Structure 1
Amino acid sequence: MDRIGAYTWHPATDRWTWNDTMYRLLGYRPGQVRPSRALVVAHKHPADRAQVGNVMAEAAAHALPYSHRHRIVSVAGEVLEVAAIGYVADDGRGSSRGVLFHGYLVHLATLTPHRPSRSAASAGAGVPTVSFEVPRVAGPLWDLDPAREDDRLLGRAVTALARAADLPDAAASHLLGHLANVAALPLVVVADRLLALSLDPDVRVLGDLLTGLAAEVPEPN
């Protein structure tokens, strides 16, 4: 299954669009439900729900890009660790309609809830607790050969993405591949542009990188 959900969100009207992976990550068939802010928040892990709600409120109120890690819970109760990444986009209808966000939900790992042994529960005053096993994170999308110039470029771009979003290299490589697919551009072109943007002193967060990647590239003279 694709690990990258993609979405748009218009806070003023609570209008959302999801790609098929967004539905599947939450346990739905594509198109089975109508996306909404309430539905999105409802699928956040109870321990992370307040934090995510605050991030969404701040982003909507001040048109801020965001990048944060949290857990979601699918319809079947599966717990996934994800990174949510969003940036302000132009909806082509004028600023009076409010801000529009374009975002990604990167599936980092699947967490398996388990209960401690009976002896461990007894040691804790008889109150059972639920913890999580250390997850296994999928490997990188490609095997990079450091002897090849293009592969070195991809490696540097993956590192830049990983640092900007606090992602594991494996997740950053999948995100880079997804960005290239969305843009319908060769992977090395997207990697080269991302690296150029990462050197811009005005680019400080991942949202700035994504905004720059989505901007129109001026035609050469």
Structure 2
Amino acid sequence: MPGRAAEIIAAGRPQAVGSFSFWFDEQRWEWSDEVARMHGYQPDAVEPTTELLLAHKHPDDRAQVAETIARSLDTGEPFSSRHRFLDTTGVVHHVIVVADRILDDTGTLVGTAGYYIDVTDTLAEQRRETLTDTLPEVVEARAVIEQVKGILMYVYRIDSDRAFDVLRWRSQETNMKLRDLAGHLLAELHTLPSGTAASRSQFDHLLLTAHLHHDGQATTGHM
């Protein structure tokens, strides 16, 4: 995984963020070492499959996730979700899955890819030290950042600390200043529909591609 997210993980926070890809034709999953570890596996110890992923889902969330995967296959909608899963030791993880589409060289939709973001209760405390170095920047742009945090809280049904975690993660991953990222997201919010099933997926797309449209800069993103 490129960027600052990898540094956070390497610094002893292996359950923070991990990447994945899902290829529609083959129904083939790929996951990063971080996602494997989230589930309790050593890297390359198992091959991720739909059956394995569903087996790990919390019983109360399994049907929802299965429906989301089926919808991705049927409609090409990115695999975006907020759910719980159990790792191999039985520990429950709360995750947000933020994803976008994979297009081939001809522009044909071939899959979906994105990130697992672990927002389990312990995560905020584990990452607090890493996040505090952004305090001066937060103070300077508090109003805009607080508005965007509120949007993230609403869209992903998370608390304020975790909303800031997500915003800061995208800032680090894309090399955009926190205030610039927040300002861009807020400025583009009017382009999204409200009250539709598609709005969550479209917000995921906006969150994952904001750096591609910010002042024409090309930065190091996942997709």
Identity %: 26
TM-score, normalised on structure 2? 0.71
Q: Report the CA distance between 1:11 and its aligned residue.
A: 2.1
Is 2:90 the counterpart of 1:90? no
Assess, with a 3 A threshold, how the Cα gap between structure 1 residues 200 and 25 changes in structure 2: closer, same or farther: same
**Which is further off, 167-176 or 180-189?**
180-189
Counterpart secondary structure, 1:188: helix
- The letter for the 2-side match of 1:72 is F
Q: Which residue of 2 aligns with 1:214?
A: 209
* Contact 1:137 1:170 (C-alpha < 8 Å) held by counterparts: no
Q: Which residue of 2 aligns with 1:54?
A: 67
Assess, with a 3 A threshold, how the Cα gap between structure 1 residues 32 and 182 changes in structure 2: closer, same or farther: farther
Q: Which of the residues 119, 127, 138 maps onto 2:124?
A: 138
Q: How does 1:113-152 map to 2 (within 5 A)?
A: 138=124, 141-142=131-132, 148-152=139-143
Structure 1 unaligned spans of 5+: 111-135
Report which structure shows greater RCO (CA 8 Å, sep ≥6): 2
Looking at structure 1, the residues matched to 138 and 181 of structure 2 have their Cα atoms a distance apart, in angstroms, of 20
Q: Which of the residues 109, 125, 136 maps onto 2:120?
A: 109
Counterpart secondary structure, 2:191: coil
Looking at structure 1, the residues matched to 187 and 57 of structure 2 have their Cα atoms a distance apart, in angstroms, of 35
Per-residue CA deviations over 1:52-99 (Å, capped at 9, x if unaligned) read 10111012211224543322011112122223333324344541xx43
Q: Which residue of 2 aligns with 1:182?
A: 173
Assess, with a 3 A threshold, how the Cα gap between structure 1 residues 21 and 169 changes in structure 2: closer, same or farther: farther
Q: Which residue of 2 aligns with 1:157?
A: 148
Larger radius of gyration: 1
Q: Which of the residues 29, 36, 51 maps onto 1:38?
A: 51
Counterpart secondary structure, 2:93: strand
TM-score, normalised on structure 1? 0.72
Assess, with a 3 A threshold, how the Cα gap between structure 1 residues 72 and 93 changes in structure 2: closer, same or farther: farther
Q: Which of the residues 172, 180, 190 maps onto 1:199?
A: 190
User: How many residue pairs get matched?
Assistant: 193
* Contact 1:197 1:209 (C-alpha < 8 Å) held by counterparts: no
- The letter for the 2-side match of 1:33 is V
Q: Report the CA distance between 1:6 and its aligned residue.
A: 2.3
